[in-house]
């Protein structure tokens, strides 16, 4: 009963349900399209979603003369 999985903690194998720990750079490479399950050794399609944002604030209070 293979189905699509979606996780924010790491890729979950659609075959056996094993949740991979994304501890290698390729887990975050949007060019990565497949992954071999570390538990059942079956290869499955993987799509990487990344989002990056930046937040900035002054180091000190702005001194409006």
Among 11, 12, 20, 37, the residue binding Zn ion under the rule CB under 5 A is: 37
CB 39 within 8 A of CB 18: yes
Using the rule CB under 5 A, which residue among 1, 4, 7, 18 binds Zn ion?
A: 18
Tell whether residue 46 is a contact of Zn ion (CB under 5 A).
no
Residue 26: left if φ>0, alpha if ψ -120 to 50, beta else—which one? alpha
Task: Count the neighbouring beta carbons within 10 Å of the beta carbon of residue 11.
Answer: 22
Which residue in 7, 10, 26, 40 binds Zn ion (CB under 5 A)? 40
**Residues binding Zn ion (CB under 5 A):** 13, 15-16, 18, 37, 39-40
């Amino acid at each position: 009963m293979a189905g699509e999985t979606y996780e924010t903690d790491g890729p979950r194998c659609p075959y056996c349900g094993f949740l991979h720990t994304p501890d290698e750079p390729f887990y975050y490479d949007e060019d990565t399209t497949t992954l071999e399950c570390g538990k059942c050794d079956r290869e499955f399609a993987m799509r990487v979603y990344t989002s990056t944002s930046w937040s900035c604030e002054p180091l000190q209070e702005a001194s409006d003369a």
